[in-house]
Amino acid sequence: MGRPAKVRALWRWTGYLAVATVFAIACGFLSNWQVNRLHEKEHIQNLITSNWDADPLPLAEVVPTAGAFEASREYQPVTMAGEYLADEQVLVRNRPRSGQPGFEVITPLKLDSGLIFMVDRGWVPTGSAQDLPDHVPAPPEGEVSVTARLKPGEPELPGRSAGNGQIATVHLPDLASRVDGESYTAAYGLLMSEHPAPAEARPLPALQPEINEGMHLSYAIQWVLFAVLAFAFLGYAARQEYLAHNADDPKVRAKLEKREQRRRERKTDADAEDEILDSVL
């Protein structure tokens, strides 16, 4: 191989190496992304495990200001007292449960402090003949003591509309604009219990979330293997080209002959029979 040909080959293999390196870096980022997704799900599961059945605390102790909420407090049970604003109750659309369409029932609770806290009293199914519940159980009247699990508000969904008395998402600033008075705008509550009990069965309570960790760890390992295979293939291709360009070298020829001999020794009886049949046909 002349000098110009060697220079061209060097540039070509440098390009191959650069492509393999970029591919490996991309695989590394994708693997790290999968690991981060796994850690996020583990964090959520740990949060649920530690907070779901924790002892209830006063709302004012856990959420001291109406506009702030610590993410580590999600699902923490809190207690409060006040009076439901039943006339300001709204339904959250598109909330399936066990494969059945339905609504979440959000009822503002005016606390003894004067602040208003949004309580998700539970789930009701879509009606049999219309896109509305057949019936929404009324909340207790008068002073009521409530225990609920904290949840952060949901983001607004642009372009999503809802009918009168309904909302597309639990966007707390939107809910706050529908009632008179200052409202909590960073957290709301999933109802656990209320006393006195309502006159009729309340909507179905929220289910404890089940977090599926999925295949993130397997995918992370696969991306690492892809990166390793890229360099392994590059090394294999470089060796094959080296052997092809140096086939006349006695040492290289001896290696090729040994490889061919090993390949022949690995032939099975079935391979031998196939060769015989091919020679006859």
Element (H, E) at 108: strand 102-111
Neighbour count for residue 204 (Cβ, 10 Å): 16
Residues 6 or more apart whose Cβ sits within 8 Å of residue 8: none
As a whole number of angstroms, the distance between CA 220 and CA 252 comes to 40
Q: What is the pLDDT of residues 225-273, one digit of tens each?
A: 999 998 898 888 877 777 666 666 666 566 666 766 666 666 555 665 6
pLDDT digits (tens, 9 = 90+) for 54-99: 999 999 999 999 988 998 999 999 999 999 999 999 999 889 998 8
For residue 215, the model assigns a pLDDT of: 86
The encoded tokens of residue 166 equal 């309904």
Asked if residue 123 has pLDDT above 70, the reply is yes
pLDDT over 60 (residue 276): no
Q: What is the pLDDT of residues 158-210, one digit of tens each?
A: 766 666 788 989 999 999 999 999 999 999 999 999 999 888 889 999 988 88
